[in-house]
Amino acid sequence: MRRRDFIAGMTSATAGLMLGQTALGADRNNPDKLRVALLPDENASTLIQNAQPLKAYLERILRKDVEIVVTTDYSSMIEAMRFGRIEVGYFGPLSYVLAKSKAPEIEPFAVGVERGQPNYKSILIATAEGPVKTLADVKGRPFAFGDQASTSSHLAPRSILAKAGLIAEKDYKAVHLGQHDAVARAVASGQVPAGGLSESIYRVLVETNKLDASKLRVLGLSDPIPNYPMTVQGYLAKELKEAIKQSFLKLDDPAILKLFRVERLAPASDKDYDVLREMATILQLNLAKL
């Protein structure tokens, strides 16, 4: 939900998306190839590599070619969904709300369940030996966010700061670093004194030794946020849409589910994300400009 050009993935077919090419067969409603976009909240090459089991599974179940796409940012992914350059998209909660506002026909159909719950939290962190010990210490200093259209790395932490009486650009300088892992690393290294990101991504970074938790101080957690929705283009043929939905809802391979950092996928609907719309209203954010 920002402003950069659409650049997807690592393949020549993905490069074709940049030019708006749609060499997917004559039938838009039942294409020969399905393009499945993953949220660009971590390194693109890593996401594509980790998604190969998902690609193989979908090709076997749906009997169609599948291309895994990772865009440069959330905005690019929204535009890709809006203009029919992808058929299936795994959005963050806020990026889904923004996409739905621009492409009303897209349908959320599944949500990740983690630790028995279809929601997650945002975590606010600070450099362990840095100047920020409490939320109040953020005043007058930079604070790192991820993408502007990220829920857990922008909307939720910004809301927490607002409740503490801290308004962006008035009380602190907002620094957008694009990806969750970039926020964590910048704070751990002391480049930025504090920041916010998804708690689940933070936990994975620590568990895989990509982040040293001893270099960080936890400032707080957000209230529960509805988990990432899986969406599909509403214009696809009814039978194909149902097959896509069932292929995800019946997923039980731990190796594939690990890609989404969830235990399983459960049914979802648009109304589940009204809480994000309400949060944006409270912050007086113009979602159209994110």
Closest CA to 59 of 33, 26, 90: 33
Per-residue pLDDT at 280: 81
Is the four-CA dihedral 14, 7, 205, 267 of positive or negative sign?
negative
Q: What is the pLDDT of residues 57-114, one digit of tens each?
A: 999 999 999 999 999 888 899 999 999 999 999 998 888 999 998 999 999 999 999 8
Confidence of residue 44 (pLDDT cuts 50, 70, 90): confident
Q: Among 210, 186, 183, which Cα is nearest to 123's?
A: 183
* Burial per residue of 127-153, b for 16 or more beta-carbon CB atoms within 10 angstroms, e otherwise: bbebebeebebbbebbbbbbbbbbbbb
- Any idea which of 4-13, 127-136, 181-190 has the lowest mean pLDDT? 4-13
Locate the domains of the chain by residue range: 12-115+227-289, 122-223
Tell which residue, 41, 150, 156, has the closest CA to residue 96: 150
Q: Which CATH number fits domain 122-223: 3.40.50.300, 3.30.930.10, 3.40.190.10, 3.30.70.20?
A: 3.40.190.10
Return all residues near 12 (Cβ < 8 A) that are at least 6 apart: none
pTM for the model? 0.70
Q: Which helix (H) or strand (E) holds 217?
A: strand 216-221
Residue 14 has pLDDT above 80, yes or no: no
Residue 21 scores a pLDDT above 70: no
Distance (Å, whole) CA 221 – CA 15: 39
Tell me if the domain spanning 12-115+227-289 has CATH number 2.40.10.120. Answer: no
Helix (H, G, I), strand (E, B) or coil at 142: strand
Taking alpha carbons only, the member of 59, 84, 71, 93 closest to residue 10 is 71
Does this chain's domain 12-115+227-289 share its CATH topology with 122-223?
yes
Mean pLDDT of the chain: 88
